[in-house]
A = this chain, B = another copy of it.
């Protein structure tokens, strides 16, 4: 048995690969035509989004300028010329039943392994670090005792920019495919871009790049037109050109632009051959030729594969945990980092969200994933997001990097994530110089990052209700609660708690900056917040979420539905707003009403009727997504809150429920891939209770990583060192945590033979006992052994 094995797949021993063992997996029906990759939802269907093979941010990883119609798939067909039998190197599109079938999803690559009619094929897709290039490496092995004459045909549909499918008939008119014999393949241009030109005109600008698709073997033929390749009345499942072994060589500006290269491979019995294809997107024709020529070489592609693996190593391996919980290890060491970095930050696309836009608070939070491994990436994101702040302190809710346009709202928490993430960056790195970085405002002018952060805080001070609670505005973190505060009267207790927490951390920075007047003011605001939230926000057994413009409570026992919300409880605890008694009360309410078999619900009971007054949260079916489902992002905060409320076993129980590999065993109801987090899971009011939804593109990945290492393992940075404060299940014998901290490696071995949850009896640093439970900030660039005895 493999690890977390079910009838569809399993993890490799070190958790760095997920192996699918059958073409048939329990994914829900989705609209797109599947491409060839078989795992679970995304990889089966929306599949193949380039971020899955990302190696640094480049134009292959940004969906907004996707170069091919990845949603429809990219295929390699194969034809046995002696028997005229055709199949594909992935199950789809031809859907032959292979004799042997495996798909390996690894970090930066996917490999399809098949055996069909005596031919073993291995098709690996990956991106090349630092280059706008994807490589398809193919190995064919003749396992039969007869000579084989095989033809391979690649296939994909060009897009070259962002054009909704119903506009394809217009946009395809502007694509120009050219075959270049020198590079064994195509260069492709588009004479219309979805972006405006310098004069603000749409439809009068060319796409800024040159796409290419080439082969290591000299093609025997090619086609650039869908009509001739697919054939009249045929489809991708049975393209005429493959069956007939005739590619029409149509190129130019008059077709429906695709790329297909036909190469021939002859194999003696038991002989094997390797070849490769490129798919790339260059700045111009010359660069396309240089790149294609370089990577039309199987040895160069092997080297690129190794360099891709090396590229990912520091991002993953600067922090390694070894615990009794394999699910936690696999997700923390590998998959959550990969998900957050490749999909959330670089790709910004999932099957369900394809825009490629940045969310203000989304990618800021996501960037915390880099702190242990490469904090310079976090810094880069902080400065980029600071530049999307207006000089009045408000920020773009989201923006599109190409064209640089975005959405202005009165959302009440967006802006506060800038000081939050900045303070977390400083806590990790002790790099206060970031505060002096000068960053422009989105509407002109510039200021230091410190001033940007202060502006955000001061702007939020301007949006208080007369009784001293922050206004919710168009929405708070809960986007769907967007009907209650438009008149700028409704309040958000959650925003109050969040602001309180930020002030706690940011006041010391203000003092350091000798900004004492502001710091003193913030101390006053904190005292007001604490008093008023406890006075007006306490509902008897828990905190309410909000009030409406017309004075109703939201998340109160007085409500017909939505009695209790998760976030105001967890953040009352996290922020320190709640005293000891209320901590217990409100987390007990969470346990009683919200804690279900698949995690903690965002609210309960779900809203059964759509209500414009409440907002679009009520438009989801009851039990779905924010409306009474488990919203994974928020559920991770509940893990922290349970720990802070002194319930580490409960915290770990919750962690286990939302940690994906554990869902391998109820996969027929969970239905999605067990190696990335889902955005949500259906709640008990849904007929699909326990079904995962919208995997990959979820802000929960970074947070699930963070709650594991900083709160369950309990090892977190403070100004003067690394705090050791585990809150682990008492059943554990201990764990090991090796991490980089300010350039120095701490290899920490925790012994819990005492079988407690928390408490440190002894710490030895390099075999010497130290006082307290904090490792000093050594900063000597060396590796230090740390032994901790709990008790």
Contacts and interface: CB of A to CB of B under 8 A. Distances in A.
A199 B354 CA distance: 27
Contact of A351 (B169, B227, B354): B169
Interface stretch (A326-334, A585-593, A611-619): A611-619
Given A31-B165, A233-B95, A616-B192, A624 B24 contact: no
Given A71-B166, A197-B612, A612-B204, A29 B254 contact: no
Contacts of A206: 610, 612, 619
* Majority-rule SS of A interface residues: loop
Given A164-B165, A165-B166, A174-B619, A483 B29 contact: no
25 contacts: A27-B232, A29-B226, A29-B227, A29-B230, A29-B256, A30-B256, A31-B168, A71-B166, A95-B233, A164-B166, A165-B165, A166-B354, A173-B624, A173-B625, A176-B621, A191-B619, A203-B482, A203-B619, A204-B482, A204-B615, A205-B612, A206-B619, A253-B624, A254-B624, A254-B687
Name the 7 nearest CB pairs between A and B, nearest first: A29-B227, A253-B621, A191-B610, A164-B164, A191-B619, A169-B352, A165-B165
A166 B350 CA distance: 11
A710 interface: no
Interface in A324-379: 351-354
A616 B204 contact: yes
Contacts of A31: 165, 168-169, 226, 256
Contact of A252 (B166, B170, B227, B687): B687
Interface string A164-205: 111011100110100000000000000110000101010111
Contact of A170 (B30, B191, B226, B352): B352
Interface in A270-286: none
Interface string A93-127: 00100000000000000000000000000000000
Given A24-B232, A29-B232, A31-B256, A204 B619 contact: yes
A207 to B, nearest CB: 10
A225 B624 CA distance: 17
Contacts of A351: 169
A28 interface: yes
Contacts of A170: 352-353
A612 B205 CA distance: 6
Interface string A510-545: 000000000000000000000000000000000000
A227 B624 CA distance: 18
A435 interface: no
A226 B32 CA distance: 12
A23 to B, nearest CB: 8
Nearest to A353: B170
A170 B31 CA distance: 12
A688 interface: yes
A737 interface: no
Contacts of A615: 204
Interface in A584-639: 610, 612, 615-616, 619-621, 624-625
A226 to B, nearest CB: 5
Given A166-B354, A203-B482, A206-B619, 19 more contacts: A29-B227, A29-B230, A29-B232, A29-B256, A31-B226, A31-B256, A71-B166, A164-B166, A169-B352, A173-B621, A191-B610, A192-B619, A201-B482, A201-B486, A204-B612, A204-B619, A206-B610, A252-B621, A253-B624
Nearest to A255: B29
A364 B193 CA distance: 30
A607 to B, nearest CB: 11
Nearest to A24: B233
Given A166-B164, A351-B169, A619-B174, A28 B227 contact: yes
Given A621-B253, A687-B254, A204 B174 contact: no
Interface string A670-713: 00000000000000001110000010000000000000000000
A620 B191 CA distance: 8
Nearest to A192: B619
A32 to B, nearest CB: 9
Interface in A226-285: 226-227, 230, 232-233, 252-254, 256
Nearest to A34: B233
A173 B226 contact: no
Contact of A620 (B173, B624, B694): B173
Contacts of A694: 169
Contacts of A95: 233
A430 to B, nearest CB: 42
A166 B232 CA distance: 26
A256 B164 CA distance: 20
Contacts of A252: 621, 687
Contacts of A483: 201, 204
Interface string A10-45: 000000000000001001111100000000000000
Contacts of A176: 621
A253 B225 CA distance: 40
Most buried by B among A95, A227, A612: A612
A266 to B, nearest CB: 32
Contacts of A352: 169-170
A725 to B, nearest CB: 41
Contacts of A204: 482-483, 612, 615-616, 619
Contacts of A227: 28-29
A70 to B, nearest CB: 11
Contacts of A354: 166
Given A24-B232, A206-B610, A616-B204, A30 B621 contact: no
Nearest to A176: B621
Contacts of A201: 482-483, 486
A348 to B, nearest CB: 14
Nearest to A193: B619
Interface string A625-655: 1000000000000000000000000000000
Contacts of A254: 621, 624, 686-688
Contacts of A28: 227
Most buried by B among A173, A483, A615: A173
Contacts of A619: 174, 191-192, 203-204, 206
A159 to B, nearest CB: 11
A25 to B, nearest CB: 9
Nearest to A31: B168
B174 A620 contact: yes
Nearest to A615: B204
A682 to B, nearest CB: 8
Nearest to A174: B619
A765 to B, nearest CB: 51
Most buried by B among A29, A165, A205, A256: A29
A585 B232 CA distance: 47
